Structure 1
Amino acid sequence: MLFLGMGNMLGPALAFVVGGALFTAFSGTLDLPGVTLSAWCETSLVFGILSAFAIFGQLTIREPARHEVESANAGLGAMLKALGKRWKLLLLLFVGQISVIMADAPAGFWAVPVMQRDLGLSVGAASGLLGGMLLVAGVLSPVISGRVADKGHKSSVRGGILIGAVVASAIGVPAAIFPMINSVPAFAAILFLLLAAGFITGLITATAIAALAPNEERGVCLGAFMILGALIGLGVSPCL
């Protein structure tokens, strides 16, 4: 989970860093050959082409053999029924983590415009700063999450695997004051705390599901977790 989470965090970080650099370049003298578009459109086009190549690469990956499976032919209905037996645990995990996503997603979306409009940074500088924060958080958060989750899971404390998520949430709540800060260094430091705390809670929650849900039910559970998080956190929250 640590290495998977690290990749998931580094992707958006590099998107901001590389995207900001490309936008700055396309706003100047650089242009794609044979293309007459705005800097935003050219930047998106470059990422679109790179994404297409990444998709083709995924077609060559074979699915690994499944292990620890008790009911290999069970349908979706059976999986949902099995998950229903754990509804108390899963409901609390879903509500807690989706609440964190609702705070983190708008912060990531709106931080660059806020730094540009209120703090006087250029688009390239604001994107680079946010990308740098995500890059550092994307390396540190999975390492912290993995170690804390392992120690909590091995402890005698009931629900110990989630202790780190509770602590990270307690740090993240007061860090939500970052939009009120007028100093760039303080703004960046407090926003970094918010994003890092959100990454840690998300990774530990996913680790808890992987550790506590049986193998054949894990995919459905994580899938529902990701879909609800995307719909609410990425779709609804930034508009709110």
Structure 2
Amino acid sequence: MPQATVLDGSAAGAVPRGARRNAAIGLITLSLFTGTAARYALSPMQELVSADLGLGNHQIALLQGMALALPILLISIPLGRLVDRTNRARLMIVLALACTAGSVLCALAQNFATAFVARMLVAGSVVAAQPAALSLVADLCEPSRRGRMITLTSLGQVAGSTVAYILAGMLLPWIPTALPAGSALAALAPWRVVLLMFAAVVLATAIAMLWMREPQRREAGADSGGELRVALRALWAYRRFLLPLIGGLVAVGMADAAAAIWAVPVLTRHFHQTPADFGVWMGLLNLGSGVVGAVLGGFSADLGLRRKGRAGVLLGAVVATALSVPTALFPLMPDVAWFGVALALLLTCGGCANIAATSAIMVVLPNELRGICVSLVIAAGGMAAYGVAPLLVSVAAQLFGGGKDILIPLSCVGLLTSIAASAAFVRAMRVAGEVNPRETK
């Protein structure tokens, strides 16, 4: 059975210090930054891609949603075991190379099927890197600093999505005038060239990651011997805590994913904005909400741990999801300014809740169960958030408005999932301090 996690920093294995530790965390953050940028590069350009490839609402929902959910659902459990038992630094390099290949394939796609496979490769590799990154960071710092260090890696992802929006908005009108006439790149649509540029940056990051070495694993409990069924049985001992926690994370993911995927179509169709109009401010909105949400989530987790023990880690998640309920109505705002304010608040609350809940996993569970647990969370959350939530919006729009109006369906999905997330985190917080790792009933 799993043993309680050591929280005082006295676990076996010295924590790397100084420049080597900082450089390793910096490389991990850089990898998440470039991968996330490649993943989100398509988002501000999705209406251009839709027109170029002749896609409808359902296909956009699949391309931006299900293409992410399917690979995570398929590989999450074996990936979690790889994270817990193999060289995580090398695993991140392989995933970066897969992201590069997927970006290139998407840039050259001529139909929906090819683009879908390419997006599966990109999105799957980027999200799959998260458990490895979190596990590495946990072994590079003391338990009392993990909330802040997880915040740092989250900021890398936030910055990646921000850069994707800003650069796409800037590059799309610039590329046709900058490329030499008659060159191979000049013959491509500008959105394709943008994707190729992001692919090159991810490849450079994969090369840089060759420098990083695998840190020693710390705070290990009972060894599962590499057997999946043993690891899952060990996780089941934490079910009173994990089931509501995962439910909350899934609900938060659904609200945020639906908002992120359909915000651009709302801006384009209802507010008549173009990528050049909203690229910069949407990028800054993502940056601001992501930074503030991550910082609040990380510091609330560390402060809650010091003040109220393990249950206090989730206080930020409970408050954030309660505040996100009214902001889920952002599609119904009367103008672009209020639309942006409400969307920023919704994403800020989602980021805070995610960091706080992820920190709780890193604090409560022993080392050898963190990777598999985070992978299961990503699988469940990814399928619900990207496989279900975007399609809920498009299907509801088709049923009740002929597919033209997505404002009410998008608002309803955000409202209901935010309420569910708040209730789930309240339950997880109540039982977090009472978790008995030897419980098997």
Larger Rg: 2
1:73/1:162 CA distance change after superposition, 3 Å: closer
Residue type of the alignment partner of 2:220 = V
Q: Encode CA deviations 1:55-80: one digit per residue, 9 max, x unaligned.
A: 33334322111112234563232221
* Alignment correspondent of 2:140: none
Instruction: Output the amino acid matched with 2:153.
Output: L
Task: Report the CA distance shift for 1:131/1:106 in structure 2 as closer, same or farther (over 3 A).
Answer: same
Aligned to 2:188: 37
Greater length-normalized contact order (CA 8 Å, ≥ 6 residues apart): 1
Find the counterpart in structure 1 of residue 356 from structure 2.
204
Give the secondary-structure state (helix, strand or coil) at the position aligned to 1:156. Answer: helix
Q: For 2:380 and 2:387, locate their aligned partners in 1 and report how far apart those are by CA, in whole Å.
A: 10
Per-residue CA deviation, residues 123-174 of structure 1 (Å, 9 max, x unaligned), is 1222222111111122222221122112222223772211110110011111
Between 124-133 and 64-73, the greater mean CA deviation after superposition? 64-73
1: CA distance between counterparts of 2:281 and 2:261? 13
- For 1:91-133, what per-residue CA distance to the aligned partner results, in whole angstroms no more than 9, with x for missing partners? 1111111111101012112212211221122212222221111
Contact 1:111 1:130 in 2 (8 A): no
TM-fit CA distance, 1:232: 2.3
The one-letter amino acid of 1:70's match is G
Alignment of 1:51-200 (within 5 A): 51-72=202-223, 74-75=225-226, 76-156=228-308, 159-200=311-352
What is the count of residue pairs matched by the alignment? 239
1:50 aligns with 2:201: yes
Unaligned ranges ≥5, structure 2: 1-149, 393-441
Match of 2:170 in 1: 21
Task: Tell me how far 1:186 sits from its aligned partner.
Answer: 0.6
Structure 1 Cα separation of the partners of residues 205 and 276 of structure 2: 25
| 1:222 maps to 2:371 | no
Give the fraction of aligned pairs with identical amino acids, expressed as a percent. Answer: 33
Unaligned segments of structure 1, at least 5 residues: none
Moved more, 9-18 or 191-200: 9-18
Q: Distance in 2 between matches of 1:84 and 1:156?
A: 25
By how many angstroms is 1:84 displaced? 0.5
Deviation of the 1:204 alpha carbon: 0.5
CA contact (8 A) 2:293 2:347 kept: no
Summarize the Cα distance change of 1:234–1:186 in structure 2 as closer, same or farther, 3 Å threshold. Answer: same
AA aligned to 2:264 is V
Task: Report the Cα distance in structure 2 between the residues aligned to 1:212 and 1:218, rounded to whole angstroms.
Answer: 9
Displacement of 1:203 after TM fit? Answer: 0.6
Q: Which amino acid aligns with 1:95?
A: G
**What letter corresponds to residue 55 of structure 1 in structure 2?**
A
Equivalent residue of 1:237, what SS?
Answer: helix
Say if 2:320 and 2:353, in contact at 8 Å, map to a contact too. yes
Q: TM-score, normalised by structure 1?
A: 0.92
TM-score (norm: length of structure 2): 0.52
Amino acid at match of 1:66: R
- Cα RMSD after superposing both structures: 1.8
Offset, 1:8: 2.0
Contact 2:168 2:275 in 1 (8 A): no
Q: Is the 8 A contact 1:112 1:130 kept in 2?
A: no
Which amino acid in the other structure matches residue 172 of structure 2? F
Contact 2:304 2:315 in 1 (8 A): yes
User: Which AA in structure 2 matches 1:6?
Assistant: L
